[in-house]
Amino acid sequence: MKTDFVPITYFAVPLQKQLLENQENIRGKPYEDFFDPNLKIPDSAIQQVTRGPMDRRYVKTPSKSDISAFVKGEDVIQGSGYAMVDEALFYVQSRMLMPGITSEMMRWWFVWHQLEKERYTLWFPQAHIDNKVADPERLADTSLTFEERLYGNTNVAKEFIGPIAQEIAIHFDSPAALGADREILEQNGYYFSTSAWMSLTAAPETCMGLMFHLGRDTSKGFEFITQYWMGSHDELHRFPGGADAAAFLRSVGFETEALENLAFELSIHDLSEYYNLARILPKLYEKFAGN
Amino acid sequence: MKTDFVPITYFAVPLQKQLLENQENIRGKPYEDFFDPNLKIPDSAIQQVTRGPMDRRYVKTPSKSDISAFVKGEDVIQGSGYAMVDEALFYVQSRMLMPGITSEMMRWWFVWHQLEKERYTLWFPQAHIDNKVADPERLADTSLTFEERLYGNTNVAKEFIGPIAQEIAIHFDSPAALGADREILEQNGYYFSTSAWMSLTAAPETCMGLMFHLGRDTSKGFEFITQYWMGSHDELHRFPGGADAAAFLRSVGFETEALENLAFELSIHDLSEYYNLARILPKLYEKFAGN
């Protein structure tokens, strides 16, 4: 069955202006032709995330057992959704199929794009502003495995999620360290991971989110499943500063309504950037991976 | 040339929830089949309003000479755009062609929909909440002309423009009374008007906006041109309380950035509701106008 892609019809004003700035900055880069603001996502995903929050029974918590259930495909919806887990935590998920993509290309991308901010803007021309990695030399060190280069090498991403720019510290780590069951991952073929716990640079030592980004190669293409939780929750206390998140969020007035709006925005953001990456990555890899 | 319509891909969370509520409320109404949340607008219009504010030289003020220039098509862009006029006032415009629609259908719609709030929700299922007309008996009085029924008969519309619900008093009046040149309107065939000055119910006697909605019948369909200004401006001082708008907007902290965001939201809102109306109106008119 052919997926029906439709153009994204909404970019808040700050994103429209960021696009013009990013377009200016990328001029002269060898990869500027890959900068294309005509983002498209599947119509079916749009239907799923614009008719209210997802059905409660498919909402996962960041517990180890719920993460395993998601990996195994137990009680999950196909595709995309967002919802509050409780009044202090939101959940966002997507399940995406990317024909023509391999985990090898994705590994290459996750090193390559972090080394220059204009590369990062290719990914989401309207929303991506800047990013920095804690140890660029380690990230670029081809004598190490992908995992050795990425894990524990925090990336600080400045990007719009909705109309507000966020500065997010993405602390990549192995999925097992973050709460996934290694055996279940391997049984299901998920050998690719760019999972992380997250904090805001305003409170870098306070875990306020968790993301599982897992992928596997199939005969139809790269299957990529994403889960995000943001806010505060008992199950996030296992990460640095997780127990302080509730107090921090209250202190900045970030309450349920704002969290739910952010959940929807992140849902659209996630779909926009990953389907756009899937569109540009094969040719980008061919041209710049130097194989 | 065929217009390429694309589905709207973004509805903020409060609009998604409003949709579910409106869907519930309309059940059992004889016109419920016309309630369709799959809104579509031309791809070309999306391109125009998602690549930053429109070119300054086409931005009109609410002056009588600028209104005349727009009616005559002087220094105008075709289609849609938004921009700040200055730091305290925004401008939004659209020029839409509606095949299969006539000014007669539009006149019928502007009476019929105001008499029941569920009818109003047909127009924009995600964004429309409620509306009330000052004198429903006069509006329904078929012994009067359309203009006699509508003008001076204020409509209070509660609707989302962007993620925030607004309650707007729409004071319909003749385009000549609002600042258009009657001769120029007639020379250009614009005999249909639902133009008005606007206030918020929070400050009902303070004019904070002006809209020109003008239409003409052509061999290709109904041509509908819309202009909106919101904020404060010397040229709005000719309306009730227009000179008080600046102080009111300052007092509620509604500054340039919020105005510019609202301009884009109104632009999308205007396109969404009018293209949706154009889609449903011919059959709605056939079924309910009782001709």
For residues A267 and A282, give the distance between their C-alpha atoms in angstroms, rounded to a whole number: 24
pLDDT band at B291 (very low <50, low <70, confident <90, very high): low
- A 10 A CB-CB count for A39 gives 20
**Interface check B36 vs A, CB under 8 A:** no
What residues of chain A lie within 8 A of the CB of B6, using their CB?
A: 6-7, 9
Subunit contact B7:A9, Cβ cutoff 8 A: yes
Residue A220, Cβ density class (10 Å: 0-12 exposed, 13-18 middle, ≥19 buried) = exposed
> Residue B232 pLDDT more than 80?
yes
User: What pLDDT, in 10s, does the model give residues B199-230?
Assistant: 999 999 999 999 999 999 999 999 999 999 99
Give me the amino acid identity at B86: D
Q: Are A224 and A123 in contact (CB under 8 A)?
A: no
What residues of chain B lie within 8 A of the CB of A46, using their CB?
A: 7, 9
Subunit contact B52:A9, Cβ cutoff 8 A: no
pLDDT at B290: 85
What residues of chain B lie within 8 A of the CB of A264, using their CB?
A: 12-13, 16
Instruction: With CA atoms as reference, report the closest residue to B225 among B98, B100, B50.
Output: B98
Q: For every one of its 291 residues, what pLDDT tens digit does chain A have, with 9 covering 90 and above?
A: 578 999 999 999 999 999 999 999 999 999 999 999 999 999 999 999 999 999 999 999 999 999 999 999 999 999 999 999 999 999 999 999 999 999 999 999 999 999 999 999 999 999 999 999 999 999 999 999 999 999 999 999 999 999 999 999 999 999 999 999 999 999 999 999 999 999 999 999 999 999 999 999 999 999 999 999 999 999 999 999 999 999 999 999 999 999 999 999 999 999 999 999 999 999 999 999 986
ipTM of the complex: 0.95
Report residue A213 as tokens. Answer: 């980004």
pLDDT at A34: 98
For residues A286 and A281, give the distance between their C-alpha atoms in angstroms, rounded to a whole number: 8
What residues of chain A lie within 8 A of the CB of B18, using their CB?
A: none
What residues of chain A lie within 8 A of the CB of B264, using their CB?
A: 12-13, 16
pLDDT at B3: 80
> Residue B131 pLDDT more than 80?
yes
What residues of chain B lie within 8 A of the CB of A43, using their CB?
A: 7
Q: Beta partners for A130?
A: A158
Shortest Cα distance, chain A CAs vs residue B7, angstroms: 7
Of B20, B46, B260, the CB nearest to A13: B260
Query: Which of B5, B8, B11, B13 to mutate: most A Cβ within 10 Å?
Result: B13
pLDDT at B2: 72
pLDDT at B164: 93
Q: Decide which of A3 and B103 is more confident.
A: B103
Place of tokens 């760019």: A194
State percent of chain B over pLDDT 90. 97
Shortest Cα distance, chain A CAs vs residue B12, angstroms: 7
Residue of chain B minimizing CA distance to A272: B9
**Interface check B7 vs A, CB under 8 A:** yes
What residues of chain A lie within 8 A of the CB of B46, using their CB?
A: 7, 9
Query: Mean pLDDT, to the nearest integer, of B32-57?
Result: 97
**Interface check B255 vs A, CB under 8 A:** no
User: What pLDDT, in 10s, does the model give residues B152-195?
Assistant: 999 999 999 999 999 999 999 999 999 999 999 999 999 999 99
Q: Are B169 and B154 in contact (CB under 8 A)?
A: yes
Shortest Cα distance, chain A CAs vs residue B291, angstroms: 37
For residues A266 and A84, give the distance between their C-alpha atoms in angstroms, rounded to a whole number: 13
Shortest Cα distance, chain B CAs vs residue A220, angstroms: 26
A90, containing H or E segment: strand A89-98
Q: For the residues of A33-85, what is the DSSP string, one character each?
A: GG-----EEEHHHHHHHSSSSPPGGGPPPSSHHHHHHHHHTTT--SS-EEEEE
Of A16, A17, A50, the CB nearest to B16: A50
Query: Mean pLDDT, to the nearest integer, of B44-72?
Result: 97
- A 10 A CB-CB count for B207 gives 22
> Residue B71 pLDDT more than 80?
yes
Subunit contact A9:B12, Cβ cutoff 8 A: no
A265, containing H or E segment: helix A256-288
What residues of chain A lie within 8 A of the CB of B10, using their CB?
A: 8-10, 50, 268
> Residue B1 pLDDT more than 70?
no
pLDDT at A100: 97
**Interface check A19 vs B, CB under 8 A:** yes
Subunit contact A9:B51, Cβ cutoff 8 A: no
Shortest Cα distance, chain B CAs vs residue A8, angstroms: 6
**Interface check A16 vs B, CB under 8 A:** yes
